[in-house]
Amino acid sequence: MATDLGVNVQWLAHQLTQPYTFGLFFEKIEQRQQQEGNWAQRWQKVEIRQAITELRLDLDRLHKKCDRVSQHIAVQSRVRYIRKGAMHCALTPSSKVYSMQR
């Protein structure tokens, strides 16, 4: 987590033991990021129009990925429902099988 935030591991571990509110904790992280300079090196400044365009492209990719995952989950749910129904039909008397098929 410290690497993702661009701060020293020991510093972050110590800060996590302090009774800060989230807002204050976040401010301390931002201050430390500026002191260490890792965050600024990792994320170079770009023109706002370019940043917005890239953000829109990233969001579009994420939406498409979420749609694929949602479709996969829906298919898996239907398969489980069909299998459960098939098992139920196999275990019930034929008169109930007929009533389920209507």
Domain residue limits at 59: 46-102
pLDDT of residue 99: 44
Residues 18 and 51 in one domain: no
Cα–Cα distance, 16 to 25 (Å, whole number): 8
- Give me the number of domains the chain comprises: 2
Whole-model pTM: value is 0.46
- Residue that has been written with the tokens 């260490």 in this structure: 36
Residues 78 and 37 in one domain: no
Using one digit for the tens of pLDDT, what is the confidence trace for 26-75? 999 999 999 998 888 888 888 999 999 999 999 999 988 888 878 878 77
Residue 18 in tokens: 């302090």
- Residue that has been written with the tokens 């993702």 in this structure: 4
Instruction: Please name the helix (run of DSSP H) or strand (run of DSSP E) that holds residue 89, with its range, or none.
Output: helix 48-91
pLDDT of residue 98: 45
Percent helix, strand, coil in the chain (nearest 5)?
A: 80, 0, 20
